[in-house]
Amino acid sequence: MRTTPRVAGFRSEYPAGFELECMAGFVGIRTKITSADAIAPVLAALSTNTLSKIVIGWVSGGRSFALRLIPGLILVITAAWAGAISTSWSS
């Protein structure tokens, strides 16, 4: 797996997603990967982006804001990973 989607996820998940779309053949004709192969890099980018949101939320909003923000972010990323894992098991 390339490191670019994971690193790009710290800033925003959109550049990582665009790169993966290019690689999957949705945009342009570069190296092709399947949709199944794109799941892990997309989740890696989403995970790093979630981590950066947690840190920024804690630093900028303080402890009380972070305690309200973090459970929701963890719920979303857990649901994304659970969906990906359940899909891979059913295949």
SS3 2: coil
**pLDDT attached to residue 1:** 46
CA distance 88 to 56: 32
The pTM of the full predicted model, rounded to 2 decimals, is 0.65
Measure Cα distances from 4 to 15, 19, 37, 87 in Å: 9, 9, 15, 24
**pLDDT attached to residue 82:** 95
CA distance 5 to 14: 9
Task: Take residue 50 and report the two structure tokens written for it.
Answer: 């979630």
Interval 8-45: pLDDT, tens: 555 555 565 655 555 555 555 556 677 777 788 889 88
Mean pLDDT of the region 76-83: 95
Mean pLDDT of the region 73-77: 97
